[in-house]
Amino acid sequence: MAEAPPEIEKIWDLLNQYIEKHKKIVKIIIGRLTQPGENYGSEIMKVDMVLKDENSGDEEELYLVAKMIPESDLYKEIFNVQVSFVSEMRFYDTVVPILEDFRKRKGAKVKDIYPKFYGGRKNLNIQGGAVDTNAVLLMDNIKIKGYENLDRHKGFDLKGAKVVLEAIAYFHVTPLALKLQEPGTFEEKIKPHLACFLPGRTPEKEQAIKERYRSFCHRSMSFVSECEECIPALPLVEKCIGKWEPMRRNNFREPFSTILHTDVWVNNIMVKNCQSDIDIKLVDFQFCTYDSPVEDLMFFLITSVPLDVLKNHLDELLQSYHKYFIQELENLKCSTDQFGYGKLLVEIKECLHNTVFRCLWFIPTVVLGEKGTKSDVTKIVPSQAAKEKIWWMVQEFYRRGWLD
C-alpha cells in the first residue's frame, strides 16, 4: 500500500495570501510528487488546485509544489531544518529579487533559472517562531510545464552538462558582481540570509555530525583500496576527510567567494527539452551559503556527468564553466583581472577536499544507490559503477596534483 502523504494544515489560508483577491480556491488535491528515496532533505508534495474568478465566473487550474521538512527525525537533524528551511525561504523571497533588480540596473539579461515562488511559512504562528512540521514552501510545479529530472544513474551528456554549467556560472557570478560593485548591499541584504551566517548547531551536535559523516567516508575507503592504482593516493584522501567541515564560517576565499548552492547534482536540476535546445531550472536551495563557487562546480561534475564524459572532456568542461563565468562578469561590467583560468585551477586545488569527502559517501549511497527506497546511508554497499567512478576521481585528482 502506498504511503499516505503528510497533511498540510490550513493550506487554504496560506494560499489565499498569494492569490488575487477576486479569485477563490474551490478545489485542492494533494499527493506525493517524488518517489521514496529521491529526496532525503524534504518531503515534496504536488498541490493541484482549481481557482474561480468571482467577477467572470471562469475557472482555472493552478499546479504548485509544496516543500516540507523531512518526516524522519534523523533527517531533520542531519539537514538542520531550523537553518536550512529559513535559508531557502529567504533565498526565494528576498535574495532572488535583489539579484534580479541588480542585473536589470546593469542592463544585463535576467535568466529564468528558478521556479516561480508563491510564498511560505515556518509554522502556523504569523508572529514568527521556530520551524516545525507545518513549515511549507510553495512553488510552481514545473513538471506540468515539461521539466523533469534525468536518471541519476546516467546524468548529463556533454551538451547537457555545458547548459548546466552556464546556469551555474550565472548563479555564481550575479551575487559575486553585486559583492564587488555594491558591497554594502551584499553585506546588509544578502549575507544575513545565507546558511553560514545563520545560527548553527551547538558545538556538540556539530561534532556529532562530523563524526557521523567521517564514518561514512572511512567505510568508503575500504573499497577505494581495492583499486591498486588508488593506493598511492590514500594518505592524501585521508587528509581530505580530516580537513572536511560541514560549513565554512570564516576564512572565506576571496575574491571568488559568492553564493554557493552546495547541492548541485542531477536531482536538483530540472530539464526541459525544447527541440534542439535544453532549458534547465535549479531547485533545492536549502543549503545556500557563502563560499568558493568551485565547490558547486566540482560536485556537479563528479556526481552528475557520466564517467566516460569526464574521462574524455574534463578540461573542456572546466574551460566552458570559466568561459561562462567571465562572460557574466563582463555582462555585469566587472573587471575580470582576478578571475583568470589559472586562478580558477588554483581555487579548485585549494577547495577540492570538500568534493572528495562528499563524493566518497554520496556517490555510492545516493547518486548510484538503489532506486525507489531511502537507503541507509550508514551502510554503504557500493555498486560496481560507483566504485569505478570513485576510483577514477581519486586517480585523476592525484594525477593532477589536486590532492596535495
The confidence score (pLDDT) of residue 386 equals 94
What is the CATH number for 383? 3.90.1200
Question: Does some domain include residue 60?
Answer: no
Q: Are strands 117-121 and 59-68 parallel, antiparallel or unpaired?
A: unpaired
pLDDT interval class at 268 (50, 70, 90): very high
Angle between helices 341-362 and 307-331 (to 10 degrees): 130
At 132, the pLDDT band (50, 70, 90 cuts) reads very high
How much of the chain, in percent, has pLDDT values that exceed 70? Answer: 93
Residue 206 parent element (H or E) = helix 203-224
Type of residue numbered 123? N
In a domain, 183, yes or no: yes
Residue 20 lies in a domain: no
Residue 265 confidence class, pLDDT cut points 50, 70, 90:
very high
- Determine, yes or no, domain membership for 341: yes
| pLDDT given for residue 290 in this prediction | 97
Q: Are 281 and 113 in contact (CB under 8 A)?
A: yes
pTM: 0.92
Judge whether 49 lies within some domain: no
386/380: higher pLDDT: 386
Compute φ and ψ for 202, nearest 5 degrees: -65, 155
What's the rounded Cα separation, in Å, for the pair 388 and 62? 44
- The packing angle between helices 341-362 and 294-304, to 10°, is 50
Residues 6+ apart with CB under 8 A from 53: 22, 23, 59, 60
What pLDDT does 43 receive? 85
In a domain, 203, yes or no: yes
Over the stretch 343-357, which tens digit does the pLDDT of each residue have? 999 999 999 999 999
Q: Is the pLDDT of residue 231 over 60?
A: yes
Residue 54: is its pLDDT beyond 80?
yes
pLDDT the model gives residue 234 = 94
Start-to-end CA span in the chain (Å): 52
Q: 298: pLDDT confidence band, cut at 50, 70 and 90?
A: very high
Q: Specify if 348 maps to a domain.
A: yes
**CA 245 – CA 258 distance, rounded (Å):** 18
Query: Is the residue at 111 inside a domain?
Result: yes
Mean pLDDT of the 78-106 span:
93
How do strand 269-274 and strand 277-282 relate by DSSP bridges? antiparallel
How high is the pLDDT of residue 397?
Answer: 97
Residue-averaged pLDDT of the chain: 90
Q: Which residues have a Cβ under 8 Å from the Cβ of 148 and sit 6 or more positions away?
A: 270, 271, 272
Q: Give per-residue pLDDT as tens, 185-207.
A: 999 999 999 999 988 778 888 88
pLDDT of residue 249: 86
In degrees, rounded to 5, the angle at the alpha carbon of residue 117 between the alpha carbons of residues 261 and 131 is: 70
Q: How confident is the model at residue 222 (pLDDT cuts 50, 70, 90)?
A: confident
Residue where the block lists cell 531557502: 88
Closest CA to 98 of 19, 15, 192, 20: 192
Q: How much is the average pLDDT of 174-181?
A: 98
How many other CB atoms sit within 10 Å of the CB of residue 108? 19
The secondary structure of residue 228, as a DSSP letter, is G
pLDDT for res 396:
98
Domain count, the chain: 1
At 1 the pLDDT is 46
Least confident residue range of 61-75, 208-222, 268-282: 208-222
pLDDT-based confidence at 262, cuts 50/70/90?
very high
Q: What does the alpha-carbon distance between residue 395 and residue 404 come to, in Å, rounded to a whole number?
A: 13
Residue 373, pLDDT > 80, answer no
Which H helix or E strand runs over 242?
helix 234-243
Beta bridge pairs of residue 87: none
The pLDDT, as a whole number, for residue 372 is 67
Please state, in angstroms and rounded to a whole number, the distance separating the CA atoms of residues 312 and 334: 33
Average pLDDT for residues 203-229, to the nearest whole number?
84
- Give yes or no for a contact between 278 and 146, defined as CB atoms under 8 angstroms apart: no
**Whether pLDDT at 235 is above 90:** yes
Number of Cβ within 10 Å of residue 235's Cβ equals 9
Q: Which domain holds residue 343?
A: 78-115+146-399
Higher pLDDT, 78 or 172: 172
